[in-house]
């Protein structure tokens, strides 16, 4: 099974600073020969958590792909933990908007002997009621003898499974430990994420941990050193019948490694509390 993962497209009809890269990505995806599945690992929209119009635009952009799409929400789609974004916390309204325009925020699909799971990483650590519902759902989704590929927006960790808090960059320690305990009891072979606008591939136990690069921009001085490569691109995953995984970075011709810093303030002005 051939899965093409792209991520952090940051699509918007209002903010066009990265529209040229979006067009390069669109053409590249259209030219891929017979993929089995496309996966966008979050931040489909530039500011969908602030403007539903961005989420609508991003959802429409994905229509007409040549294979089914599995999309999971990112922080710019449905918000983040309140301590990180008090102006855009994950809440019922943002979750409802995602579901209305982009589909379920958690998904399970069985294909070619594999179980594919899409998880809403933005719920983890929020204490929203949906976090507990998702954990209960995930426990059932992991109850299979099939090899599992998991897709989510934020990586579980940067350096090691037992690391401390890393703020904005990863899943916080308490829900991470709970999630890893569930994953450890299943045959998880691939954990693919986005969020960091960095490509990196590592392995912990049987699972390959793959950071999918952005299709819009890279981060410059505003991002601490996290390892990996700050490059635009996509990942092609080959999932074999015997449970093995091969992941290949592909950089479409025509991408420009634009950075967010010159335009971040005009795009992401934080709303002042009333």
In a domain, 274, yes or no: no
Answer whether residue 253 is part of any domain: yes
- Does any domain span residue 185? yes
Residues 189-211 pLDDT 10s: 999 999 999 999 999 999 999 99
The string of pLDDT tens digits covering residues 162-192 is 999 999 999 999 999 999 999 999 999 999 9
Q: Say if residue 272's pLDDT is above 90.
A: no
Instruction: Give the model's pLDDT for residue 268.
Output: 87
pLDDT over threshold 90, residue 270: no
Share of the chain above pLDDT 70, in %: 98
As a whole number of angstroms, the distance between CA 25 and CA 270 comes to 29
Domain count for the chain, please give it: 1
Taking residues 48-68, what's their average pLDDT? 97
In a domain, 112, yes or no: yes
Tokens 């890269």 -> residue = 21
CA separation for the pair 120, 131 (Å, rounded) = 9
Sign of CA dihedral 165, 171, 174, 177: negative
Average pLDDT along the chain: 96
Check the CA dihedral 89-121-126-230 and report its sign: negative
Return the pLDDT at 239: 98
Residue at 273 is within a domain: no
Q: 272 in a domain, yes or no?
A: no
Residue 274 pLDDT greater than 50, yes or no: no
CATH no. for residue 89? 3.60.21.10
For the stretch 67-95, pLDDT in tens is 999 999 999 999 999 999 999 999 999 99
Residue-number span of the structural domain to which 205 is assigned: 2-267
């Amino acid at each position: 099974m051939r899965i093409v993962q792209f991520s952090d497209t940051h699509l918007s009809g209002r903010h066009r600073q990265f529209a040229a890269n979006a067009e390069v990505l669109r053409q590249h995806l259209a030219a891929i020969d017979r993929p089995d599945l496309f996966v966008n690992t979050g931040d489909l929209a530039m500011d969908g958590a602030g403007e539903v119009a961005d989420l609508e635009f991003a959802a429409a952009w994905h229509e007409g792909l040549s294979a089914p799409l599995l999309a999971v929400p990112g922080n710019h789609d449905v918000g983040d933990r309140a301590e990180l974004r008090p102006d855009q916390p994950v809440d019922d309204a943002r979750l409802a908007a995602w579901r209305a325009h982009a589909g379920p925020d958690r998904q399970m699909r069985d294909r070619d002997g594999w179980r594919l799971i899409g998880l809403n990483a933005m719920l983890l650590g929020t204490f929203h009621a949906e976090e507990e519902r998702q954990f209960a759902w995930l426990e059932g989704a992991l109850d299979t003898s099939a090899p599992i590929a998991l897709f989510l927006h934020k990586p579980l960790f940067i350096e090691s499974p037992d690391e401390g808090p890393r703020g904005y960059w990863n899943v916080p320690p308490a829900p991470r430990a709970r999630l890893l305990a569930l994953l450890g009891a299943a045959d998880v072979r691939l954990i693919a994420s986005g969020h960091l606008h960095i490509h990196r591939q590592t392995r912990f136990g049987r699972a390959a941990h793959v950071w999918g690069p952005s299709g819009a921009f890279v981060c410059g001085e505003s991002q601490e050193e996290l390892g990996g490569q700050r490059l635009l691109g996509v990942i092609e995953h080959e999932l074999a019948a015997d449970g093995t995984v091969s992941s290949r970075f592909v950089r479409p011709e025509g991408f420009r490694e634009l950075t967010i810093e010159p335009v971040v303030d005009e795009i992401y002005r934080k709303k002042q509390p009333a």
